């Protein structure tokens, strides 16, 4: 997005137009069900605000009883919402005529009112673009423009509380500074990150409207304080997570992980649900990455986490899973089925290959070739019928195992065909190359417990 010079009033109109031109659609047709309780926001951080606006008739839900808080909002829908939030706003200019908003359009009156009151403007050529979606930064600039708010402190000083202040577009800096001073900026789940260029969701717009109404004294603020930006206290806020806190994780790259009991393997997993600190605020949002290793413990394996990556920043943590002691012998017929959807370590790949020098590896499009090589190496000198038997069994299982990258690093790519896995395991057994392997179920075995308290600054 290009930076807009706000020194002239025409430029300001264009900037405000951009602000309101990109709201993500709430729906192609506007929601029509006014109610105070929605099935999909119960317990949500935004529930009190959404209920307040719904009771006031500012926002509405859908016929199925949902609010769909993560849906985007269109310019037309935003015009309808802001007009209901501020019905007594002064008309500061004449109504504009937009070529793409006919008088029969459902939001014609709302768009006209929003234009007259300074909340919204059009594009050059008399275009309004009612179906465009709006980023968070542009919503905030729209509200401060319509409410005629300006910052009282240096803009750079005010915006310094945001960890991503450098991402704020030039045209939006003054407006966002004003919104910050008025405590209109709501950042969930991490108050330090504005995410100015991210499309605003229905929950985002609702929160901004609640805080804008609170800034005019029409309502009390009902947004949890830890998500409201503004003031030095925000910049100093730190999340304290106590020892014993559970960290649920997911690993979707493979259905299982198979390693040798004596191996150490690098592994990265994803946080499956928000992890809250001692005050109840979200400290580690869902979707963050946990980096660690599977290490040998008591004849089994344990996932030990070393760091968590939140919004691109890495923080040291000390957390671990329970000890995983589910093992199988290569002679176990059920192992072939497990391998069909598993990620393999280099050690297991070497066993299956039959020789230490013939391991599965990640070499771009050579991964499949490495897999076939393992099956061929394991089957050298075998009865042809036995090899065909095991390949057929593997193929019938119809799954793929994951290859392994470099030394001890599991890759999420699944390239070993069921046939190759079946033939390779069968070859290893027939040649006498057998051993115990640890079988890990990612959905149950990798969840973590924090071993020591941690502060996320």
The answer to whether 133 and 73 have CB atoms below 8 angstroms apart is yes
φ and ψ at 276, to 5 degrees?
-100, 155
Tell me the Cα Rg of the chain: 29
Secondary structure of 161-195 in HEC code, one letter for each residue: CCCCHHHCCHHHHHHHHHHHHCCCCECCCCCCCCC
Instruction: For residue 145, give both structure tokens.
Output: 């423009």
The answer to whether 378 and 423 have CB atoms below 8 angstroms apart is yes
The answer to whether 136 and 1 have CB atoms below 8 angstroms apart is no
Alpha-carbon gap, residue 4 to 18, rounded angstroms: 10
Q: pTM of the entire structure?
A: 0.49
Alpha-carbon gap, residue 423 to 436, rounded angstroms: 18
φ and ψ at 183, to 5 degrees?
60, 40
Displacement of CA 151 from its chain's centroid (Å): 32
The DSSP code sequence of 373-415 is HHHHHHHTTS-HHHHHHHHHHHHHHT--EEEEETTTEEEEEEE
**3-class state of residue 364 by DSSP:** helix
Q: Compute, in degrees rounded to 10, the torsion defined by CA atoms 351, 352, 355, 361.
A: -100
Of 162, 185, 130, the C-alpha closest to 235 is 162
Of 267, 318, 316, the C-alpha closest to 445 is 267
Instruction: For residue 343, give both structure tokens.
Output: 């990620």
Q: What is the DSSP letter of 227?
A: G
The stretches in the chain having pLDDT less than 50 are 1-30, 32-34, 231-237, 354-434
pLDDT value for 132: 93
Instruction: For residue 429, give both structure tokens.
Output: 């057994």
φ and ψ at 431, to 5 degrees?
-85, -5
Alpha-carbon gap, residue 420 to 435, rounded angstroms: 19
User: Going by C-beta distance under 8 Å and a sequence separation of 6 or more, which residues neighbour residue 134?
Assistant: 19, 20, 21, 22, 23, 24, 72, 73, 74, 75, 78, 142, 199, 200
Alpha-carbon gap, residue 183 to 437, rounded angstroms: 56
pLDDT value for 238: 61
User: Going by C-beta distance under 8 Å and a sequence separation of 6 or more, which residues neighbour residue 64?
Assistant: none
Residue holding tokens 């500061």? 92
Residue holding tokens 């040798």? 260
The answer to whether 110 and 83 have CB atoms below 8 angstroms apart is yes
The DSSP code sequence of 87-115 is TT----SPPP--TT--TTSTTHHHHHHHH
Alpha-carbon gap, residue 382 to 388, rounded angstroms: 10
pLDDT value for 402: 35
The answer to whether 3 and 14 have CB atoms below 8 angstroms apart is no
Peptide bond into 137 cis (omega under 30): no
Instruction: For residue 267, give both structure tokens.
Output: 């592994």
User: Going by C-beta distance under 8 Å and a sequence separation of 6 or more, which residues neighbour residue 66?
Assistant: 38, 39, 40
Alpha-carbon gap, residue 290 to 304, rounded angstroms: 10
Q: Are strands 342-344 and 454-456 parallel, antiparallel or unpaired?
A: unpaired
pLDDT value for 91: 94
User: Going by C-beta distance under 8 Å and a sequence separation of 6 or more, which residues neighbour residue 359?
Assistant: 346, 349, 350, 353, 370, 374, 404
Secondary structure of 235-251 in HEC code, one letter for each residue: HHCCEEECCCCEECEEC
> Which tens digits make up the pLDDT trace of 387-411?
333 433 333 333 333 333 333 444 4
pLDDT value for 253: 84
Residue holding tokens 């390239």? 415
Displacement of CA 37 from its chain's centroid (Å): 26
Displacement of CA 386 from its chain's centroid (Å): 48
Instruction: Compute the half-sphere exposure of residue 221: CA atoms within 13 Å on the CB side of its CA.
Output: 17
């Amino acid at each position: 997005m290009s930076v807009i010079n706000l020194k002239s009033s025409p430029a300001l109109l264009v900037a405000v137009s951009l602000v309101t031109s990109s709201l993500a659609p709430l729906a192609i047709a506007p929601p029509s069900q006014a109610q105070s309780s929605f099935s999909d926001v119960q317990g949500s951080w935004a529930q009190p605000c959404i209920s307040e606006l719904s009771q006031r008739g500012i926002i509405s839900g859908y016929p199925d009883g949902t609010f769909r808080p993560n849906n985007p909002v269109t310019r037309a829908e935003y015009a309808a919402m802001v007009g209901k939030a501020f019905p007594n706003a002064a008309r500061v200019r004449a109504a504009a005529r937009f070529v793409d908003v006919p008088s029969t359009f459902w939001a014609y009156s709302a768009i006209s009112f929003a234009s007259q009151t300074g909340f919204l403007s059009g594009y050059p050529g008399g275009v309004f673009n009612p179906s465009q979606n709006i980023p968070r930064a542009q919503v905030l600039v729209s509200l401060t423009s319509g409410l005629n708010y300006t910052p009282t402190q240096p803009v750079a000083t005010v915006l310094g509380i945001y960890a991503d202040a450098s991402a704020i577009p030039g045209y939006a800096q003054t407006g966002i500074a004003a919104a910050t001073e008025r405590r209109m900026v709501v950042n969930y789940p991490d108050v330090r990150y504005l995410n100015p260029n991210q499309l605003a969701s229905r929950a985002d717009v609702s929160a901004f409207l609640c805080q804008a109404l609170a800034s005019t004294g029409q309502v009390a603020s009902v947004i949890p304080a830890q998500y409201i930006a503004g003031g030095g206290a925000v910049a100093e806020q730190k999340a304290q997570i106590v020892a014993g806190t559970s960290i649920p994780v997911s690993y979707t790259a493979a259905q299982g992980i198979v390693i040798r009991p004596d191996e150490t393997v690098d592994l990265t997993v994803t946080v499956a649900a928000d992890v809250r600190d001692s005050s109840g605020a979200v400290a580690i949002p869902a979707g963050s990455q946990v980096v660690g290793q599977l290490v040998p413990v008591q004849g089994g394996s344990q996932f030990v986490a070393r760091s968590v990556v939140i919004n691109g920043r890495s923080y040291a943590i000390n957390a671990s899973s329970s000890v995983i002691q589910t093992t199988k012998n290569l002679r176990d017929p059920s192992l072939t089925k497990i391998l069909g959807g598993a990620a393999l370590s280099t050690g297991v790949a070497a066993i299956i290959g039959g020789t230490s020098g013939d391991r599965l590896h990640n070499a771009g499009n050579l991964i499949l070739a490495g897999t076939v090589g393992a099956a061929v190496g394991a089957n050298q000198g075998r009865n042809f019928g036995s090899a065909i038997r095991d390949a057929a069994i593997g193929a019938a299982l119809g799954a793929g195992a994951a290859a392994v990258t470099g030394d001890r690093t599991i890759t999420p790519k699944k390239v070993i065909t069921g046939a190759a896995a079946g033939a390779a395991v069968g070859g290893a057994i027939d040649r006498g190359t057998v051993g115990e392997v640890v079988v890990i179920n990612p959905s149950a075995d990798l969840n973590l417990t924090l071993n020591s308290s941690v502060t996320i600054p």
